[in-house]
A and B are shown apart, each in its own frame.
Chain A
Amino acid sequence: MLQMRKLSKVYRTHLIETHALRGFDIHVREGEFVAVTGPSGSGKTTFLNIAGLLEEFTDGEYLIDGVPVRGLDDNARSRLRNEKIGFIFQGFNMIPDLNLFDNVDVPLRYRGFKAPERKARIEHALERVGLASRMKHYPAELSGGQQQRVAIARALAGDPRLLLADEPTGNLDSAMARGVMELLEEINAQGTTIVMVTHDPELAQRAQRNVHIIDGQVSDLEHVTPLARVAARGAEAAVA
């Protein structure tokens, strides 16, 4: 579903050069739920932005659903993003002056669906996250957890194959976070591939696979379960 080979990303200013990702290799298979962890500044968000075609990469190769994305123009990247990828952000990123119906409608408009199909998809997506009865409400009238559910509905409405989530529970209390996580697991169970960036080891533990990023590279803990990795870190610290 998502494959990066020897990928690098360098931010350049006239004074300094920052390597956000270097020799980055990852392969996320169809239907997987992958948690991406790592310390702040390790390159998690850069990875997610590149994965979501929101940023260009400097070197290497990136294939999404078998399609190499290097050299694609803005139209092609936008179409890929619209058709294959759904986004969930830490800050929900609702458009405040659109009600829930219209917020979920946004990606469908760019997809070019006719009004009846858009309506059906919006209603289905909002039903799926339990907010069908509030589709005329505005984001400000909802709790954080509810807003994140709307964001998930918006991400799902176009039936994307890949869902990219950047700290989806970062702004939520534990009860709401649990609810959102359960929803993501349910979505994954129905076949959607999920890549989730998180700082929270407990959430990461619930993913099928963990990828740990340190200094812009995938660490060798990729295939270790999160709990084992926590233990391994403790052991490393003890040795140090």
Chain B
Amino acid sequence: MFRYYLKLGTRSLRRNPFLTALMVLILGFGVGTSMTAYTVMHVLGGDPMPHKSSQLFVPQLDNGPLEGYTPGDDPDHQLSYIDTMNLLKDGKGKDRVAIYGLSPTIDSGRADLPPFFEPGLATTASFFRMFDVPFLHGNAWDEAADRDGAFVVVISRELSERLYGDTDPTGRSLRIDDRDYRVSGVIDHWRPVPKFYRILGGGGAISDAEDLFVPFRNAIAREWNNNGWTNCSGGRNEPGFAGFLKAECNWIQYWVELPDAAAVAEYRDYLSAYFAEQKKLGRMPRPENFALRNLREWLAFNEVVDSDTRLQTWIAFGFLLVCLVNVIGLLLAKFTARGGEIGVRRALGATRMEIVRQYLVETVVIGAIGGVVGLGLSYFGLAIVDKYGLGEAGIARMDVPLLAATVALAVVSAVLAGLLPTWRAAQVMPAMQLKSQ
């Protein structure tokens, strides 16, 4: 009977194309709007490294002064240079990454390409393996280069194409802030969303990955200032960059890989011991205060999905509800107008359930078409969000589960909207209808 009802449903919808189009559009708008908002929230709230997110941790240490201290405050989001170097040196955890932002000048030496600033990162070789960065050519620098602060660079595919076209630049020289760097590798398209590894000072959770990566120690040796967020407490005892490095300034993002619960517990003990040790050395005046958050906790802590985004999503689903109420009204009108047909069918042997099935199938057809329209409108909405909201093309994209969810939402919405009209249709008194025909 399903095919029969499907045939009847499509025929009924064709009979009144204006009403059908109105219902489909209302449903499509509701679904499109809500799925656009949901997709943005989903993208922002997604797990960029689902296979590893429970193993990647950000340690936070409270090195602030006693003045202004409030118990329960969270430690700063970033670490000082002193703590970073200590943690790197102690080598706890399976792997460790230190990151800070740069904006050096690149000189291609080409007349047609004047020198330009390029956003980059000073980091450790472990960055590439910890975050599964894909390489198009070559590879990351080695541990020795890390240790020595070698003049090596990894560049993005986009920068490579800009500088060298389609050729493999591995081994070639690239002039950065008047010094030559050897290109050790080119990373392929890589754009984790959200940009979890550098939420602070890196252009936000929805921004491009950097185009240039140099060894951490090299950047320090070259006294490259942080191009990002820096939070200092207390004064400096020495002037210049050397003084900055010794100051209680937090500007380095630090990550540690801890493969299991035992490693996490061990690392907490280590941080506690480290805190106590630094206290003895005259630092960390506040009571012991440190945190260790895994990747997902880190995203939540930084409110990557902020309350505005959540509110927008709720409002969008509220709009869908309003749309559904409208569709209910239209379906009621449509089904009421078909009381005569319902009466005839009941007289000819249709049970109430058969009437319910017939009309529900019709609402499913409306829902399916509404879903397709909703998909189109979602794509349109996401394009607008990309262009004017997030500022980055192609970030707010639907994956297959979201596509399926859009159509399913439309169908479920249509069925929900159809429940009351269908129930009313099934309650039609055939005798009354037949006499009034």
| Interface range for B | 20 to 34
Given the interface pairs A54-B430, A93-B434, the reply to whether A110 lies near B11 with Cβ below 8 Å is: no
A residues within 8 Å of B by Cβ? 45, 49, 52, 54-55, 74-75, 78-79, 81-83, 87, 89, 91, 93, 95, 97, 106-107, 109-111, 154, 158, 166
* B404 CB-CB contact with A under 8 Å: no
With a CB–CB cut-off of 8 A, which chain A residues contact B348?
Answer: 81-82, 87, 106-107, 110, 154
Name the residue of chain B whose CB is nearest to the CB of A84: B349
Given contacts A75-B353, A93-B434, A107-B348, 18 further A-B contacts (CB under 8 A): A45-B435, A49-B431, A54-B346, A54-B347, A74-B351, A78-B354, A79-B351, A81-B349, A87-B348, A89-B437, A93-B340, A93-B347, A93-B437, A95-B341, A95-B345, A110-B348, A110-B354, A111-B349
Chain B 398-437, CB within 8 Å of chain A: the 1/0 string?
0000000000000000000000000000000111001101
Measured CB to CB, the closest approach of chain A to B241, in angstroms, equals: 83
Q: Which of A78, A89, A109 contacts B434 (CB 8 A)?
A: A89
Query: Shortest 6 CB-CB distances between A and B: which pairs?
Result: A82-B349, A110-B349, A107-B348, A49-B431, A91-B437, A78-B351
The chain B residues found within 8 Å of chain A, CB to CB, are: 1, 4, 11-12, 15, 340-341, 343-354, 429-431, 434-435, 437
Q: Closest Cβ of chain A: how far from B293's Cβ, in Å?
A: 60
Q: Given B11, B341, B350, B435, which contacts A78 in the complex, CB threshold below 8 Å?
A: B350
22 A–B contact pairs at CB < 8 A? A49-B431, A54-B347, A54-B434, A75-B351, A78-B346, A78-B354, A79-B351, A81-B347, A81-B348, A83-B349, A87-B347, A87-B434, A89-B434, A89-B437, A93-B340, A93-B343, A93-B437, A97-B12, A106-B344, A106-B345, A154-B348, A166-B434
Q: How far is the CA of A93 from the CA of B434 in the complex (A)?
A: 7
Point out the residues of chain A lying under 8 angstroms from B340, CB to CB.
93
Docked complex Cα distance between A190 and B71 (Å): 98
In angstroms, Cα B282 to Cα A194, docked, is: 109
Whether the Cβ atoms of A110 and B350 lie closer than 8 Å is yes
> Does B349 contact A107, Cβ atoms closer than 8 Å?
yes
**Minimal Cβ-Cβ distance residue in B for A112:** B1
Complex CA gap A109/B3 in Å reads: 11
Q: Which residues of B contact A111 (CB under 8 A)?
A: 349
- From DSSP, what is the main secondary structure of chain B's interface residues? helix
| Interchain CA distance A109-B1 in the complex, whole Å | 8
Instruction: Give chain A residues whose Cβ lies under 8 Å from the Cβ of B1.
Output: 109
- A97 in contact with B349 given A49-B431, A91-B437, A109-B1 (CB within 8 Å): no
Given A109-B1, A110-B354: A78 touches B431 (CB 8 Å cut-off) = no
Interface centre among A75, A78, A79, A111 (most CB of B within 10 A): A78
- Separation of A106 and B1 alpha carbons in the complex (Å): 11
Q: Across the interface, which residues of A come within 8 angstroms of B11, CB to CB?
A: 97
Chain A nearest Cβ from B155, distance in angstroms: 67
Q: Which residues of A are found within 8 Å of B430, using beta-carbon distances?
A: 54
Distance between Cα atoms of A95 and B352 in the complex (Å): 18
Which residues on A sit within 8 Å (CB–CB) of B345?
95, 106, 110
In the complex, A89 Cα to B351 Cα: how many Å? 20
Q: Is A93 touching B344 in the complex (CB atoms < 8 A)?
A: yes
When the two chains form their complex, are residues A52 and B341 in contact, meaning their CB atoms are under 8 A apart? no
Chain B residues, CB < 8 A from A81: 347-349
**In the complex, A158 Cα to B347 Cα: how many Å?**
13
What CA separation (Å) do A52 and B431 show in the bound complex? 9
Partner of A52, one of B347, B351, B437: B347
Contacts of B429 in A (CB 8 A): 54-55
Min CB gap A28→B, angstroms: 19
Contact B4 A109 (CB under 8 A): yes
Cβ of A74 and Cβ of B4 under 8 Å apart?
no
Chain A residues with Cβ below 8 Å from B4 are: 109
> Bound state CA distance, A83 and B351, in angstroms?
13
- Decide: A97 and B15 in contact? CB cutoff 8 A: yes
A45–B437 alpha-carbon span in the complex (Å) = 14
Complex Cα spacing A49 to B347, Å: 10
Complex interface: chain B residues within 8 A of A78 (CB): 346, 349-352, 354
Cβ-defined contact, A55 with B431, below 8 A: yes
A89–B343 CA distance with the chains assembled, in angstroms: 12
Assembly CA distance A52 to B434 (angstroms): 12
Query: Are the C-beta atoms of A95 and B351 separated by less than 8 Å?
Result: no
Central interface residue in B12, B349, B352, B435, by most chain A CB within 10 Å: B349
- How far does the Cβ of A158 sit from chain B's closest Cβ, in whole Å? 8
Distance of A128 Cα from B15 Cα, bound (Å):
31
A109 to B343, CA, bound (A): 16
Closest Cβ of chain A to B1, distance in Å, is 7
Cβ of B195 to closest chain A Cβ, rounded Å: 57
Q: CA A166 – CA B341 in complex, angstroms?
A: 17
Chain B residues with Cβ under 8 A from A95's Cβ? 341, 344-345
CB-nearest residue of chain A to B7? A102
Q: How far is the CB of A187 from chain B (nearest CB, A)?
A: 17
CA distance A110 to B354 in the complex (A): 8
Please indicate the chain B residues that have their CB under 8 angstroms from the CB of A74 in the complex: 351-352
Residues of B within 8 A of A45 (CB): 431, 435
- Min CB gap A147→B, angstroms: 12
Tell me the smallest distance from the CB of B350 to a CB of chain A, in Å: 5
A80 to B12, CA, bound (A): 28
The smallest beta-carbon distance between A86 and chain B, in angstroms, is 9
